[in-house]
């Protein structure tokens, strides 16, 4: 039987920015509960909830100080239990974010570990002696600077692949691993729908050999985790795996290997950065390359032995229409185009909160307006390296994580219906026009395109299981593909660009399934309008 998550559409909620319920400017769990009917109307099957655990908030909750407590800014454990229960009434499962590559430096384990070299928790983390009075090696943190932090008390360095307040856990220690499995079972027993696993590809690291992702013990650990936690349960698990190739994706998700349900792969993320440099080193997107990567992940994995997720956005990535589409004149058309090509592909689609109403990036003018630790650390690092402020701010506006983290735009009322107070991060002023209320009132809105695409998936096995086949020779700016299952044959056609494109296919169709302009009447020698996308049944 097909597991539920192969037919599902998942919606990511970034809790800090979703809905404030108590007037402190910060989204919270009761706020999410109050929006469940909206999500049910959209039609999603599960929520991936970014972290709501107890946290000092250095990385907005990805620095956890207690995995079995809810951060008071988000509510209480009773609220969390309520969310799981209420969501179920709306046919929505709650998928928790599992952040176990690292903890906060305020986690009880780390507070103990740093006390002395013989502390029972010392080996939960990764400690090394200085070499010639310096860092053990030149491993870098993803948030700028060295991955090693010197700790005065014991005269050793600890490893942190992210902020210095996010020490890496030592997965070589079986005691630590079983603590993590116990914690996962605590959440499974509450009735959650599964886990999204933060940077899971890093847990097999070997820092002495400078191995970060895809270390030799990664898959043995995942098998062990599976066996002790979700084996035999109806849960979905998705690994965040930046370094996945199609072959690696199969290693994670081939059902016979008993590891994860599916992966998030990020191959398209590198397309608008200078090769071999950082994401901040900008270059423009070549649509031919985007098309190539999209097709690669449809054709180079065997969906009988692997499963992939489909997404444009998340809390780390800028808004797709601002980045690769058009967030002005063709905002609505380009948003619908991206939705259509993604949601009719093979895999499990994810929607990031606000994507379904076409929320856009919002540029800052100076570093005081930036909240995200990744951008702030990079700003200082690059200033020291001699970059100009203007250059750095330009990179932050293009790629910074705050772009996706601005509060949800619910209505055109003051503070967008997100909060009655000052929001923790400035709202995009375009909420006056772009908001949920307006989207729901307009039958032609982006929202209803998403709603329709979700419905098409739920009602048509060809979307879930059909083979994918590229239509060749359409030019770089047009993506056209078939989905085929038994007698069912669907065709998806999209103009990825802002220029008109010619398209010609010598075939007749029976029915238009979805389109973002007037419905096409033929496939023969037609001209696709900017960002035009449609799907037809043959
Ligand atoms: O992200 C992993 C990660 O590699 C990001 O830092 C990413 O490189 C960057 O944001 C790209 O834009 C996960 C979480 O999704 C992120 O929010 C956390 O900050 C990070 O792990 C640490 O937990
Ligand atoms: Ca609040």
Q: 220 and 125, same structural domain?
A: no
513 belongs to a structural domain:
yes
Q: In what order do the strands lie in the sheet with 127-128?
A: 127-128, 156-159, 148-151
Q: Of the candidates 387, 420, 449, which is a domain's last residue?
A: 449
Pocket of ligand 1 contains residue 517 by CB under 6 Å? no
369 and 481 share one domain: no
Residue 454 in any domain: the answer is no
pLDDT digits (tens, 9 = 90+) for 378-417: 999 999 999 999 999 999 999 999 999 999 999 999 999 9
281 flagged as catalytic: no
pLDDT category at 4 given cuts 50, 70, 90 is: very high
CB of 142 shorter than 6 A to ligand 1: yes
Q: What is the mean pLDDT of residues 331-355?
A: 99
Domain that holds residue 258: 4-101+174-449
Instruction: Tell me: do 404 and 260 sit in the same domain.
Output: yes
Residue of the nearest CA to atom 5 in ligand 1? 316
In a domain, 167, yes or no: no
CATH number of the structural domain spanning residue 145: 3.90.400.10
Is the Cβ atom of 316 under 6 angstroms away from ligand 1? yes
Whether residue 89 sits in one domain with residue 45 = yes
* Domain membership flag for residue 67: yes
Q: Is the alpha carbon torsion for 266, 238, 358, 477 positive or negative? A: positive
- What CATH number should be reported for the domain holding residue 21? 3.20.20.80
Q: Is 122 in the same domain as 249? A: no
In the structure, what pLDDT confidence band is assigned to residue 1 with cuts at 50, 70 and 90? confident
d(CA 220, CA 237): 16
Write the DSSP string, 403-461. Answer: HHHSPP---SSGGGGT-SS--SSPPPGGGGTSSHHHHHH-TTSHHHHHHHHHHHHHH-H
Total structural domains within the chain: 3
434 and 482 co-located in one domain: no
- For residue 62 and ligand 1, the question of a CB distance below 6 A is answered with yes
Cβ neighbors of 358 (< 8 A, separation 6 or more) are 321, 327, 331, 332, 335, 434, 446
Does 270 score more than 90 pLDDT? Answer: yes
Tokens matching residue 494: 């999209």
Q: Which ligand is nearest to the CA of 19?
A: 2
If you measure from the C-alpha of residue 316 to the centroid of ligand 1, how many angstroms do you get, rounded to a whole number?
6
Candidates 14, 51, 162: which one to mutate for ligand 1, based on the most atoms within 8 Å of Cβ?
Answer: 162
Read off the pLDDT of residues 463-504 as tens digits, 9 standing for 90 and up: 999 999 999 999 999 999 999 999 999 999 999 999 999 999
Question: Does the residue 458 lie in any domain?
Answer: no
Global confidence as pTM: 0.98
Q: What mean pLDDT is predicted for residues 450-472?
A: 98
Asked if the model's pLDDT at residue 189 lies above 90, the reply is yes
């Amino acid at each position: 039987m097909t597991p539920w998550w192969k037919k599902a559409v998942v919606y990511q909620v970034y809790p800090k920015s979703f809905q404030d319920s108590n007037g402190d400017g910060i989204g919270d769990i009761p706020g999410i509960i109050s929006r469940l009917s909206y999500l049910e109307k959209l039609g999603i099957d599960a929520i991936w909830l970014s972290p709501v655990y107890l946290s000092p908030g250095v990385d907005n909750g990805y620095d956890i100080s207690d995995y079995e407590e809810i951060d008071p800014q988000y509510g209480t454990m009773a609220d969390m239990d309520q969310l799981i229960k209420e969501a179920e009434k709306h046919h929505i499962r709650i998928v928790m974010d599992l952040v176990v590559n690292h903890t906060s430096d305020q986690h009880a384990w780390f507070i103990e570990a740093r006390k002395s070299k013989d502390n029972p928790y010392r080996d939960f983390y990764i400690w090394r002696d200085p070499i010639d009075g310096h860092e053990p090696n030149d491993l870098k943190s993803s948030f700028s600077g060295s991955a090693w932090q010197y700790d005065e008390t014991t005269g050793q360095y600890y490893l942190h692949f992210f902020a210095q307040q996010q020490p890496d856990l030592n997965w070589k220690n079986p005691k630590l691993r079983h603590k993590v499995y116990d914690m996962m079972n605590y959440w499974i027993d509450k009735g959650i729908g599964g886990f999204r696993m933060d940077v899971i590809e890093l847990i097999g690291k070997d820092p002495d050999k400078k191995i970060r992702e895809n270390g030799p013990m990664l898959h043995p650990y995942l098998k062990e985790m599976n066996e002790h936690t979700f084996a035999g349960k109806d849960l979905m698990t998705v690994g965040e795996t930046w370094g996945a190739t199609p072959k690696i994706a199969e290693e994670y998700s081939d059902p016979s290997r008993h590891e994860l349900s599916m992966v998030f792969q990020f191959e398209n993320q590198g397309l608008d950065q200078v090769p071999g440099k950082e994401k901040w080193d900008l270059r423009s997107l070549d649509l031919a390359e985007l098309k190539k990567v999209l097709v690669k992940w449809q054709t180079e994995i065997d969906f009988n032995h692997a499963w992939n997720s489909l997404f444009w956005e998340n809390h780390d990535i800028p808004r797709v229409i601002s980045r690769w589409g058009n967030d002005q004149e063709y905002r609505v058309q380009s948003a619908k185009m991206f939705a259509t090509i993604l949601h009719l592909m093979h895999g499990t689609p994810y929607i990031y909160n606000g994507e379904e109403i076409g929320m856009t990036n919002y540029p800052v003018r100076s570093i005081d307006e930036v909240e995200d630790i990744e951008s702030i650390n990079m700003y200082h690092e690059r200033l020291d390296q001699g970059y100009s402020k203007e250059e750095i701010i330009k990179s932050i506006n293009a790629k910074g994580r705050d772009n996706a983290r601005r509060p949800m735009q619910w209505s055109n009322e003051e503070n967008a219906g997100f909060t009655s107070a000052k929001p923790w991060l400035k709202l995009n002023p375009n909420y006056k026009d772009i908001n949920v209320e307006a989207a729901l009132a307009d039958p032609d809105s982006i929202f209803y395109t998403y709603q329709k695409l979700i419905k098409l998936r739920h009602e048509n096995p060809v979307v879930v299981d059909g083979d994918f086949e590229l239509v060749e020779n359409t030019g770089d700016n047009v993506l056209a593909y078939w989905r085929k299952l038994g007698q069912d044959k669907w065709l998806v056609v999209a103009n990825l660009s802002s220029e008109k494109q010619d398209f010609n296919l010598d075939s007749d169709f029976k029915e238009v399934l979805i389109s973002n302009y007037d419905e096409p009447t033929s496939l023969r020698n037609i001209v696709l309008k900017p960002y035009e996308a449609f799907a037809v049944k043959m």
